[in-house]
């Protein structure tokens, strides 16, 4: 059973809507057709494949307001980037959750506090 990671830690899947699954190699030009979807899961086939972050950002910039989930090989170190790109949550395997327990993800849950650009804006 997969584990859902949110800013509040590990949880189970409570989303009852319909998911649209997008592979990481989805053509960005096709993203506007998904703007009315209830939920979109973007696949991460490898932690080194960052195309899903770009897709998430483009969806949010294009006006997508639904649930957005990163699914697959996302590691705790990438949680902050996932949230900043526009993901609401991350879905990982139980095996990965055992190797990277909730405290490692929680350490990165305060993702808005350490935003370099926000700190620069405050100084200006």
* Whether the predicted pLDDT of 74 surpasses 60: yes
pTM: 0.86
pLDDT digits (tens, 9 = 90+) for 38-69: 999 999 999 899 999 999 999 999 999 999 99
pLDDT at 123 > cutoff 90: no
**Which residue ranges make up each domain of the chain?**
3-7+17-24+36-110
| Residue range 3-7+17-24+36-110 in CATH 3.20.20.70 | yes
Q: Rounded distance, CA 104 to CA 75, Å?
A: 10
| Mean per-residue pLDDT, 71-79 | 94
Question: What is the distance between the alpha carbons of residues 121 and 113, in angstroms, rounded to a whole number?
Answer: 13
Please tell me the distance from the alpha carbon of residue 2 to that of residue 90, in angstroms, as a whole number.
Answer: 10
Q: What is the DSSP string of 54-75?
A: HHHHHHHHTT--SEEEEEES--
CB 112 within 8 A of CB 84: no
Confidence tier at 1 by pLDDT (50, 70, 90): confident
pLDDT (tens digit per residue) in 97-115: 999 999 989 887 776 655 5
**What pLDDT score was predicted for residue 106?**
86
Residue 73 CA: distances (Å) to CA of 1, 52, 82 = 15, 11, 12
């Amino acid at each position: 059973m997969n584990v859902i990671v949110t800013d509040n830690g590990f949880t189970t899947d409570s989303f009852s809507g319909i998911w649209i699954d997008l592979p990481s190699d989805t053509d960005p030009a096709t993203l506007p057709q998904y703007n009315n979807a209830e939920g979109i899961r973007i696949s991460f086939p490898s932690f080194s494949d960052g195309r899903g972050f770009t897709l998430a950002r483009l969806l949010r910039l294009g006006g997508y307001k639904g649930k957005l989930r990163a699914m697959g090989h996302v590691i705790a170190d990438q949680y902050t980037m996932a949230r900043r790109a526009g993901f609401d949550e991350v879905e990982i395997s139980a095996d990965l959750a055992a190797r990277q327990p909730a405290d490692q993800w929680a350490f990165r849950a305060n993702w808005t506090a350490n935003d370099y650009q926000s700190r620069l804006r405050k100084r200006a």
